[in-house]
């Protein structure tokens, strides 16, 4: 219980300050102890109230048009991604998650070249990739963050819209996971263990925002994800 709560406190606080990292940090922490087939649905479930709170907090800056493109792509990718989660054996999937988290985290730290000319297609592809990674690992954000960096979408609008997307995709994922039999009593128990951590992290982020460097917090999150990814690969 303390492990789950502690991991989610750190993940929530870092996302609240840096704008990314909840699913990456939460997943890479929990898969050290729990099979991905347990950790991913639990993270999806426990994120929903946090996502609703962050969406309400940032609602004035949400770009509904951008959000619509992302969701349209994501709904196509969610089911194939969730089937990967259901069908791949836990050890293989844990190592694949470790490798993927390392690769995506490193990629996010580098600006990926000039923007694509067709921004609409870029939005749709980002949503599709986010749906696949969200279904398999709960981490729908990295492909969208990568595309956001490439397309140079306005930072505040992008951040607020990303929070709304996370909330929508979590609701979609929870529905798909339920229908595929991935939501179990242990899933709900882990989500309950994580609820105090979510609350503590949300309060901590509110206290730290504006008082600490967001860039330093991003680097802290990056280091934690890389260490966790390496651990998932070798253990």
pLDDT at 1: 67
Buried b (16+ CB within 10 A) or exposed e, 114-123: eeeeeeeebb
Residues pairing with 43 in the sheet? none
State whether residue 210 is helix, strand or coil. Answer: coil
Q: Residue 179: which residues within 8 A CB-CB, separation 6 or more?
A: none
pLDDT at 81: 95
Q: How many CB atoms lie within 10 A of CB 95?
A: 16
As a whole number, mean pLDDT of residues 174-179 equals 95
pLDDT digit string (tens) for 14-40? 877 876 778 888 888 888 888 999 999
Rounded CA-CA distance 128/55 in Å is 21
pTM of the model: 0.84
Reported as half-sphere exposure (CB side, CA atoms, 13 A), residue 79 has a value of 3
């Amino acid at each position: 219980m303390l492990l789950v709560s502690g991991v989610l406190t750190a993940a929530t606080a870092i996302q609240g300050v840096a704008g990314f990292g909840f699913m990456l940090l939460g997943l890479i922490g929990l898969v050290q102890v729990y099979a991905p087939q347990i950790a991913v649905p639990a993270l999806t479930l426990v994120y929903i109230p946090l996502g609703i709170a962050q969406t309400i907090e940032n609602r004035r800056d949400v770009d509904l048009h951008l959000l619509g493109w992302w969701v349209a792509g994501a709904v196509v990718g969610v089911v194939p991604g969730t089937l990967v989660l259901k069908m791949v054996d836990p050890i293989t999937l844990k190592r694949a998650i470790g490798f993927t988290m390392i690769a995506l985290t490193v990629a996010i730290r580098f600006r990926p070249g000039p923007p694509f000319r067709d921004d609409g297609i870029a939005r749709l592809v980002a949503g599709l990739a986010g749906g696949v990674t969200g279904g398999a690992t709960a981490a729908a954000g990295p492909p969208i963050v990568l595309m956001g960096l490439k397309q140079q979408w306005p930072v505040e609008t992008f951040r607020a819209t990303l929070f709304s997307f996370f909330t929508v995709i979590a609701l979609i994922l929870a529905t798909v996971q339920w229908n595929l039999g991935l939501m179990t009593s242990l899933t709900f128990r882990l989500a309950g263990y994580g609820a105090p951590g979510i609350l503590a992290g949300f309060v901590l982020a509110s206290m730290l925002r504006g008082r600490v460097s967001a860039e330093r917090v991003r680097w802290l999150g990056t280091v934690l994800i890389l260490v966790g990814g390496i651990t998932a690969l070798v253990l």
